[in-house]
Structure 1
Amino acid sequence: MNLSIIIPLLNEKESLPELHQWILKVMHENNYSYEIIFIDDGSTDHSWETIQELSQKDANVKGIKFFRNYGKSQALHAGFAKAKGDIVITMDADLQDSPEEIPQLFNMIAQENYDLVSGWKKKRYDHVVTKNLPSKLFNWAARKTSGVYLNDFNCGLKAYKNLVIKNIEVSGEMHRYIPVLAKNAGFSKIGEKVVKHQARKYGESKFGIDRFINGFLDLITIWFISKYGKRPMHFFGALGVIMFVLGFLSTGFIILFKMIKLYSGFHTILVTQNPLFYIAITSMIIGSQLFVAGFLGEIILRTKNNEERYKIATEVNL
């Protein structure tokens, strides 16, 4: 079986030669047929020049350079599109992921027939407050919401069957939820392996506390897309009908109550002077808008074009 190793990166010039040598050692020890695809996500520190140098020394090294920073999901998407290996490994370029884990991940796909295996950094060397605690909370919420019971959704070290990466759409900031995307696409055999995590050797982390805020927002997005992405009318239409009917019935009740009072000889205030009347009307308007939103969602879903989400400046060995 052939192996593709996909490595997205941003300003990791110092790490790349050492990472390449480490991967090379593992590949030769296990006699793997392999390719290494580096995706330079808009680096400004000569990372691309380093990739070019490595590609000249090693024909198995391939590279993709973006015009600017588009994000890790877009980098993985570009790598997935180019990957030719039967088994695909993704890992970070900062030397915190160990290439020594690759053989066991490879075997779990090749021999145990997993569709996807996700790494679990059980012992971490990140800052407790800014990364470890938010990560635990995030992973708990992701498990409860998605139904995919992994301990570490954020781990960049993962292994896939080629069939999986060719049948999932990684966009926005959805790289955290690739196991969920795989499950939604029908790949149900998802495993997990405890992997060694190492302290960052060069530079600084490109991710801060804000990634967990974005992660929770993305979690809500993927939950909605998983449930209603192919049928937005089922959500917006149902909610719109409920609000419209409640508003309509409330308005009818207010008018009927007014008429009963008049026929009984009681003096009552005008219907338009009753605050409940305006609440009911507002409910009907919002219900109508939600219903229309459902129709628009259906129209967009059926007419959308696949937009280019990133621009590739140049490639090497591809």
Structure 2
Amino acid sequence: MQSTHHFLSLIVPSYKKEETIVSNIRRLQEVLNTVRYDHEIIVVVDGMVDKTFQKLKKAKLDKTTILAYKRNQGKSYGLRVGMRHAKGDYVMFIDAGEEIDPNGISMLLEHMEWYEADIIVGSKRHPASIVHYSVARRILSLGYYILVKMLFGITIKDTQAGIKIFRKKVISKVLPRLVEKRFTGDLEILVVARRLGFKRMYEAPIKLNYHFAGLSSAATLSTIWGMFIDTMAIFYRDKLLDYYSYPTKRSRIGRTIKKIVPGPYMHVGQNTSQ
């Protein structure tokens, strides 16, 4: 029996997932039906580049809202779109696909209650996590943790795993200040939340199985470089401009983004059967 004490909004950013997205969402529904909170799923289709949106609409998924826009803008942009539409007092996101075991959702929810947390971060580097990825990627993850700790003083050991949960009050304060669109939106949320005084951040174990190409692939090297550049941009805004402390500073950048990214939504589909 589900409790009405909390309402969970689960955001699923998706890009080029036409082959797996429907089964992915049905699996998430199965998991959410076992937790004690009522819920909604918000699928954000990051660019109309394949048939992901059409397959979601045809599937008529219960308690599911589908948001889509024409051009690919990046995962972090998609998360912001989903957050704007979230109705829950708990707002969670999980990457589309089969790499992160969705059974970890209940673990993050329990951690929110145990710690009375503002934010719970699913972490590959938690001692109880079960992860399958290469030694090279483990070294890269450790190096990024050291960089983040040096730059921002954040002690979370894994800021980039694609599953996190927030109280709505955190999202309400943080969302107007966010800028990142692609590689480091997860980190930016944590940096801004910490800047605004939300320091009850804790890690929870996850089960994860990566299916990425080797570190030598051009796409992976481009992603690593993009993450570094975006991380330094967050550092510049946070430490040198003090940008995140004053949302009014966002006005000019916000207007610029609006010109570049018109819309923002080309299609909105809703299936909210109870």
Name the TM-score class by shorter chain.
0.7 to 0.9
For residue 110 of structure 2, what is the aligned residue in structure 1? Answer: 107
Which has more radius of gyration? 1
CA distance in 2, matches of 1:103, 1:136: 26
For structure 1, the 5+ residue unaligned runs are 232-299
Q: TM-score, normalised to structure 2's length?
A: 0.80
Q: State the percentage of identical aligned residues.
A: 23
* Cα 1:96/1:230, change in 2 over 3 Å: same
CA distance in 2, matches of 1:2, 1:207: 38
2:74 is equivalent to residue 71 of structure 1 = yes
Q: TM-score, normalised to structure 1's length?
A: 0.70
* Conserved 8 A contact 1:115-1:160: yes
The 3-state SS of whatever aligns with 1:306 is helix
For structure 2, the 5+ residue unaligned runs are 1-5
The 3-state SS of whatever aligns with 1:29 is coil
Q: Which protein is richer in helix relative to its size?
A: 1
* Conserved 8 A contact 1:7-1:36: yes
Cα deviation digits, residues 118-160 of structure 1 (max 9, x gap): 111235434444x433232112101121111111111111111
Cα deviation digits, residues 168-210 of structure 1 (max 9, x gap): 1332244131211211122111101121102449xxx996222
Q: Which protein is richer in strand relative to its size?
A: 2
* Cα 1:150/1:207, change in 2 over 3 Å: farther
* Conserved 8 A contact 2:107-2:205: no
Counterpart mapping for 1:3-82 below 5 A: 3-54=8-59, 56-58=60-62, 60-82=63-85
Give how far 1:211 is off.
1.9
The 3-state SS of whatever aligns with 1:93 is coil
* Cα 1:143/1:184, change in 2 over 3 Å: same
For residue 195 of structure 1, what is the aligned residue in structure 2? Answer: 206
Cα deviation digits, residues 186-241 of structure 1 (max 9, x gap): 2111101121102449xxx996222222222222222222123247xxxxxxxxxx
Which one of the candidate residues 264, 268, 273 is aligned to 1:315? 268
The 3-state SS of whatever aligns with 1:317 is strand
2:87 is equivalent to residue 84 of structure 1 = yes
CA distance in 1, matches of 2:253, 2:229: 24
For residue 254 of structure 2, what is the aligned residue in structure 1? Answer: 306
Give how far 1:66 is off.
1.4
Which one of the candidate residues 113, 116, 121 is aligned to 2:119? 116
CA distance in 2, matches of 1:37, 1:15: 16
Give how far 1:9 is off.
1.0
2:162 is equivalent to residue 162 of structure 1 = no
RMSD: 2.6
* Cα 1:68/1:128, change in 2 over 3 Å: farther
2:225 is equivalent to residue 213 of structure 1 = yes
The 3-state SS of whatever aligns with 1:135 is helix
